[in-house]
Structure 1
Amino acid sequence: MSELRALEELEAIVSGLLRDLSSPGRRQLMRKVARDVRKSQSDRIKAQKNPDGSAFEARRPKPKPSMGNYAVHFLYPSGGSGPPRAVLMKSWMRDGQMLTGYDIEAGGIRSFFWDKIIKWLGVSPDDQNKSGGKIRNRPSLKEKAMFRKLRSPRFLKSGANEREAWIGFVGDVARLASVHQHGLSEEPAKGQKAVNYAMRQLLGLSIEDREDLLDSVLKHLAD
């Protein structure tokens, strides 16, 4: 008998045993199952692996940020309902849709979305010669592990009742997670050409996960 077949038969036996539990007992067990599964899925995403143990397909290499050694001047929406403000930046870099540089008015490093810039303005000789801080390729701007935020309790939720336990992504990230889970196509940003994303299975139970769950359930029943 194959390992999977034996596992399925044991799961069927344990499922029958669960029916003998009281409703409060099943709720307690299902809550524990949900917590355990959420943790195992989060740990696996952190390890950048699919349920079968294979590694997530690596990101496509990103173009290196382009550095600017001249001043740029543009209108950008204000944070509230007020009029847009003029931004003068020195020592800037563009990384994809993000423009980061030293904002003269703010007196520090700031980032702006390229596609939200309302209008490019001319730069006077006086502004071109103004002093400004320098921006370097800081560690915070370097590439980090995929789905780092998605695996956090804020987005990866769990829940249970007396009949079932569940885990899943909530909010806007649920759509993003689905794109990667099934290897779908999507526009990276509004109006951009759709990109075919590699399948990276964020959620899924391996045989080891199922065996651990069975061990946990049997221990609960024995106690």
Structure 2
Amino acid sequence: MANDLDALEDWAGALLNKLEPAARSKLARTLAQKLRRSQQQRVKQQLNPDGSAYAARKPRDLKGKKGRIKRQAKMFQKLPKASYLKAKGDGQSITVGFTGRVARIARVHQYGMKDRAEADAPEVRYEQREVLGFAKADLDLIRNTLILSLSST
């Protein structure tokens, strides 16, 4: 995947340098928003960038809460909302990432780290679930958006 990104950067770098700074910033913002949208859809579908499903949740013993908890609730229901998943683009870079406390939760799952579910709970190692990442479709989206943008100027 890193080779694909390097090849894309080499191919697009020279072309992007020929754009005016304002046009480059506008293109970066547009790309950031499109990438955020694709990441949101992938997280809602519970898929890793390679197309595999997220690792299943561990079963929990919720004493006294049997009637109040939705069965088989999906993970990360609120995570892909635009208030948590921010997209930013300027003339030099594009950034798509999480903010605040949600960023910590996403990082724990992204890398399969240890964390506590609650303050008093024991530490648990979470399964790796790639919340953010480039799928082949994302690279195609970037390439097609660049081509469309450069051909219209």
TM-score w.r.t. the length of structure 2 is: 0.90
Tell whether 2:119 aligns with 1:190: yes
Tell whether 2:109 aligns with 1:180: yes
Structure 1: give runs of 5+ residues left out of the alignment. Answer: 67-92, 96-136
In the alignment, what sits opposite 1:37? 35
Aligned residues: 152
Larger Cα Rg: Structure 1 or Structure 2? Answer: 1
Shift of 1:11: 4.0
Distance 1:167 1:34 in 2: 7
1:51-75 deviation digits (Å, cap 9, x = unpaired): 1111100101222x44xxxxxxxxx
Matches of residues 40-189 of structure 1 in structure 2 within 5 Å? 40-63=38-61, 65-66=62-63, 93-94=64-65, 137=67, 141-189=70-118
Structure 1 stretches of 4+ with a deviation exceeding 3 A read: 3-11, 140-143
Secondary structure of 2:100's match?
coil
Distance 1:190 1:5 in 2: 41
1:124-159 deviation digits (Å, cap 9, x = unpaired): xxxxxxxxxxxxx36x63342110101101101111
Q: Which amino acid aligns with 1:94?
A: K
Tell me the C-alpha RMSD between the 2 structures.
2.1
Give the direction of change, closer, same or farther, for the CA distance of 1:49–1:161 in structure 2 (3 Å limit): same
Shift of 1:191: 2.5
Q: Which amino acid aligns with 2:146?
A: V
Distance 2:2 2:100 in 1: 34
In the alignment, what sits opposite 1:84? none
Question: Once the two structures are aligned, what percentage of the paired residues are identical?
Answer: 33
Distance 2:59 2:7 in 1: 45
Tell me: higher relative CO, structure 1 or 2? Use CA pairs within 8 A at least 6 residues apart: 2
Shift of 1:209: 1.1
TM-score w.r.t. the length of structure 1 is: 0.63
Structure 2: give runs of 5+ residues left out of the alignment. Answer: none
Distance 2:128 2:45 in 1: 16
Q: Which amino acid aligns with 1:52?
A: D
Q: Which amino acid aligns with 1:34?
A: A
Distance 1:165 1:21 in 2: 16
Distance 2:55 2:9 in 1: 32
Which structure is higher in strand share?
A: 1
- Preserved contact between residue 50 and residue 56 of structure 1 (Cα < 8 Å): yes
Which structure is higher in helix share?
A: 2
